[in-house]
Structure 1
């Protein structure tokens, strides 16, 4: 009987020590997270009301000037650049529309290096062409993403917002 009571006392002390340690760790994590604001990054833009852009003899950085959402102000409509404010994984998406176009296309650049080329041939000028692409990229704070209209390609947009560029932070790293 004394052995059983001793074992119970040791078990209770051990459990109380573990409980106290766990509570202490929870308090520490709550304190760390309380002062830490989770970054919010999301943007949604459309290109222009000017209708057809291109074709040009040189590549042109696209400036999506119609900004509908820009939480975190990471997209700059005057430059066309999205700048990652924090290290994390980002989802980016764009839609390209061509009408009376020939070749339509958009290239994706990260820090001024092309990471994706996209184009479509539109042989029937009276049939609209669309394509949509999505990227999930790990970016560090300060990385820049922008879209380029390649030379010889066209893109179309109007007040109906056919050609768009958007993105959001999925999670920080």
Structure 2
């Protein structure tokens, strides 16, 4: 009976969530009213003596457990599968255990070794190396972007000078170069 009481409270909270969805958040100052609305719900209008501030969340957030209540380190918030898994290891011997006690006690050593290997892999240095590689790659790409920007500016300047020179030549503003006199045929 006492185990079902928290379940009933959670169900009642879920049923009351739509009604509470547009309840104002208590503010020490009555000059403003902060309201959370979901999906396409209408935000209440401001009045002359009170400003209404609406925070809009996605429709699917309406029935979810609030974020501050979702994550907890308390034993009550732990999944049953994790509790059972922890209890499985207490006094475990015999088949599929890694102990010298009982028939087939050695059969769980491989599973234990594999589980330990995965745990080591999650905490291993390869994870940090991949983060370092990603960081170095980002720094290198940032330098490449800067070099590409400088090269682009240089190319655009050269193209601008070329186009200006072409325009001057087409308009006849070419500098006059005096031709050297040709040598006389006499010698």
What TM-score do you get using the length of structure 2 for normalisation?
Answer: 0.23
TM-score, structure 1 as length reference:
0.24
Which is helix-richer, 1 or 2?
A: 2
* Higher relative contact order, chain-length normalized (CA < 8 Å, sep 6+): 1
* More strand per residue: 1
